[in-house]
Structure 1
Amino acid sequence: MTWSAPFDPPIVLPDGREIVTLLDAGGYITNLPTKEHAAPEWQAAMEALILVAEGGGPTMFARTGIMRALNRHHVPEFNPKGKEPHWGRRKLMRDQ
């Protein structure tokens, strides 16, 4: 695989721009500020990007690394009411 391999679908950045190819992703990561570029998430994304571009692998690996780095500050909300037990469920014969 080469650096011109496209992502399917392209990665949309928070500022509205799109990352279309592996080369675009590498350029985006190298243009980040030094403090942000040194973050472990971005280092892992760059490593996955290099492995896919030079080693030949699915572009989904590089896409996953970049998406995880872009969303590293997002904390998923926990909804305790999301999965309530169903108290009216009938018992099975084996449970009696």
Structure 2
Amino acid sequence: MTKGWGRPSDEPIAVPGGKLVTLRDAGHYIAGLPKAVHDRPEWQAAMEALMLVVERGGPTMFARIGIMRALNAGA
């Protein structure tokens, strides 16, 4: 399976201000969150899932699930 930050997500993820199309987009989005938000367990888990997908070439759906869970935490 292909590895790397340039891989497209299975489906774009809608976020305030746009959408996340690639794994790089997701990484930049998470890195750009305010520290108090970025440090929340759900965002740390999303980043961990993203890193595993990027580094090991796993299914991009894993990263998507992590991000969607973090976006919807507390909803």
Q: Settle same-fold status: TM greater than 0.5.
A: yes
Instruction: Identify the residue that residue 89 of structure 1 maps to in structure 2.
Output: none
What does residue range 56-95 of structure 1 map to in structure 2 within 5 Å?
A: 56-74=57-75
Unaligned runs of 5+ in 2: none
Letter in 2 for 1:7: S
Secondary structure (helix, strand or coil) at the match of 1:43 reads helix
What is the alpha-carbon distance in structure 2 between the residues aligned to residue 8 and residue 16 of structure 1?
Answer: 20
Q: Give the number of equivalent residue pairs.
A: 73
What RMSD, in angstroms, separates the aligned Cα atoms of the two structures?
A: 0.8
Instruction: Identify the residue that residue 77 of structure 1 maps to in structure 2.
Output: none
What is the alpha-carbon distance in structure 2 between the residues aligned to residue 2 and residue 35 of structure 1?
Answer: 28
Question: Per-residue CA shift, 1:31-66, capped at 9, x if unaligned?
Answer: 000000000000000000000001110000000000
What does residue range 13-24 of structure 1 map to in structure 2 within 5 Å?
A: 13=15, 15-24=16-25
Identity of aligned residues (%): 62
**Structure 2 length normalisation: TM-score?**
0.94
Bigger radius of gyration: 1
Letter in 1 for 2:57: G
Q: 1:17 to 1:52 in 2, by over 3 A?
A: same
Instruction: Identify the residue that residue 54 of structure 1 maps to in structure 2.
Output: 55
Instruction: Identify the residue that residue 10 of structure 2 maps to in structure 1.
Output: 8
Deviating beyond 3 angstroms after TM superposition, the runs of 4 or more aligned structure 1 residues are: none
Secondary structure (helix, strand or coil) at the match of 1:62 reads helix
Instruction: Identify the residue that residue 91 of structure 1 maps to in structure 2.
Output: none
